[in-house]
Amino acid sequence: MMEIQHFTFNPFQENTYLLINEKRDCIIIDPGCYFEEERKQLLTYIEKEGLKVTRLLNTHCHIDHIFGNRLVVKTYGVGLEIHPQDKIVLDRSPEIGKMYNIPFEPSPEPVRFLEDGETIRFGDDELEVLLTPGHSPGSVCFYSASQQFLIGGDVLFYQSIGRTDLPGGSHQTLINSIQQKLFVLPDEVRVYPGHGQSTTIGFEKRHNPFLQ
């Protein structure tokens, strides 16, 4: 059974997630900690809870989701994992940071690439990687069938969807990803997005104005 802990970090109000199992192993997804107090908050929580960080995953590589990548890699000795189609986004991230006047330590290079449909084993638990492009070329979601939750990045939000006006974005591709990869999941699946409050697949099917 996985526990989900989340923090909201940086000027973009990004949700960083920790998945924690009974052995106190921990997967960090999208560490967005930018300010020093945010970085300290994350490290202090992990130390206080006695967690062992075993993996670092990015749903996608827009800057607000990767500010803390280098910190996590340096502190815990894990390697970054992303989908290969988002490598171009990762490569451009330093210049994007300068454009927004938000300089940051560039993310380390990925040590391996995620594949659509692959299973991430986490102790006795499993996550399925779902490739859901549109917000970015290699956006992925992490789905737990046994616990019926989805770490969704910036694909699907409460009554909204991810923006598609950034380089590599495509509105129709995003709609297709949601319809074909997410809306086929059970209505009860809880979606933990990259920004804002959680929601469920069933609620968004019925009430999301972008998907009616």
**What is the share, in percent, of the chain residues with pLDDT greater than 90?**
99
Distance CA 132, CA 186 (A): 17
Q: Per-residue confidence at 169, pLDDT binned at 50, 70, 90? A: very high
| This model's pTM is above 0.85 | yes
The closest alpha carbon to 131, from 191, 82, 93, belongs to: 82
Q: Per-residue confidence at 197, pLDDT binned at 50, 70, 90? A: very high
Distance CA 153, CA 132 (A): 10
Q: Where are the domains of the chain?
A: 3-207
For residue 70, list its beta bridge partners.
none
Residue 208, number of CB atoms within 10 A of its CB: 18
Res 190: pLDDT? 98
**What is the share, in percent, of the chain residues with pLDDT greater than 70?**
100
Res 38: pLDDT? 98
pLDDT digits (tens, 9 = 90+) for 95-142: 999 999 999 999 999 999 999 999 999 999 999 999 999 999 999 999
Question: If you average pLDDT over residues 10-28, what whole number do you get?
Answer: 98
Rounded alpha-carbon distances, angstroms, from residue 149 to 5, 43, 123, 131, 132: 13, 25, 17, 16, 16
Res 43: pLDDT? 98
SS3 string of the chain? Answer: CCEEEEEEECCCCEEEEEEECCCCEEEEECCCCCCHHHHHHHHHHHHHCCCEEEEEECCCCCHHHCCCHHHHHHHHCCCEEECHHHHHHHHHHHHHHHHCCCCCCCCCCEEEECCCCCEEEECCEEEEEEECCCCCCCCEEEEECCCCEEEEECCEECCEECCCCCCCCCHHHHHHHHHHHHCCCCCCCEEEECCCCCEEHHHHHHHCCCCC
Res 25: pLDDT? 98
Question: If you average pLDDT over residues 72-85, what whole number do you get?
Answer: 98
Res 205: pLDDT? 98
Chain-centre distance of CA 66, in angstroms? 9
Distance CA 142, CA 126 (A): 10
Residue 19, number of CB atoms within 10 A of its CB: 25
Q: Per-residue confidence at 145, pLDDT binned at 50, 70, 90? A: very high
Question: If you average pLDDT over residues 185-210, what whole number do you get?
Answer: 98
Fold of 3-207: Metallo-beta-lactamase; Chain A (3.60.15)
Res 31: pLDDT? 98
Average pLDDT across the chain, whole number? 98
Res 144: pLDDT? 98
Question: If you average pLDDT over residues 26-46, what whole number do you get?
Answer: 98
